[in-house]
Amino acid sequence: MRLRIATVLLLACSAPAWASSSAGGTSAAGSSAGSAGSSASSDSSSGDDKLVLEARVDAASFVASNGQIRGARLEAALRNLRERDVAARDASDLQLAQAILAL
């Protein structure tokens, strides 16, 4: 079950990340321009992926505290994942937090 959740999360988040990194080029200026362009995009899946990736710090706190520390970004990411993915609905908060950390 954990492997399935991690795989789903990786697939959901890696494609947009790869696309934006290859579009941004290799220079620092190109990289900034690429991320600015993707931030301005109205593509909701890109925003959803960013939401999940930004929850990594909260996920680390949650896992380290055995579920005692629950940050707002983690809560938003968990809600978002469960709305988007059927497999995530069956996973515990701890399993999803660990999968977020594996990204």
pLDDT 10s digits, 25-64: 444 444 433 444 433 434 456 777 898 889 999 999 999 9
CA distance linking residue 40 with residue 33, whole number of Å: 11
Q: What would the two tokens of residue 75 be? A: 């809560």
What percent of the chain shows pLDDT beyond 90?
Answer: 48
Contact between 71 and 55 under an 8 Å Cβ cutoff? The reply is yes
Q: Would the pLDDT of 83 be above 70?
A: yes
Give the residue with greater pLDDT, 35 vs 2: 2
DSSP state of 91: S
Buried b (16+ CB within 10 A) or exposed e, 46-69: bebbbbbeebbebbbebbeeeeee
Domains in the chain: boundaries: 2-102
- What per-residue confidence (pLDDT) applies to 48? 74
